[in-house]
């Protein structure tokens, strides 16, 4: 296996791939790297964590807006 630094999957590349995949802008080269050198469980767990953080962020923003509008 050719694990050159360009082909290795690091925490930053996983996070970048999750963001790109979430918004639908993942490049074909990165997708191939992820499927070739990455583990599916890493992306599954990362996707679940990312989805939970996204929901919590939206909920928090809604709470701030409702509080600012005076709605209890």
Using 50, 70 and 90 to split pLDDT, how confident is the model at 23? confident
Q: What is the pLDDT of residue 71?
A: 82
Is 47 exposed, middle or buried (CB count within 10 Å of its CB: 0-12, 13-18, 19+)? Answer: middle
Q: What is the pLDDT of residues 26-46, one digit of tens each?
A: 899 988 999 999 999 999 999
């Amino acid at each position: 296996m050719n694990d050159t630094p360009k082909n290795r999957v690091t925490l930053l590349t996983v996070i970048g791939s999750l963001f790109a995949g979430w918004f639908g802008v993942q490049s074909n080269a990165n997708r191939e790297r992820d499927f070739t050198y990455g583990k599916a469980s890493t992306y599954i767990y990362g996707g679940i964590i990312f989805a939970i953080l996204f929901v919590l962020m939206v909920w928090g923003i809604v709470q701030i807006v409702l509080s600012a509008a005076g709605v209890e």
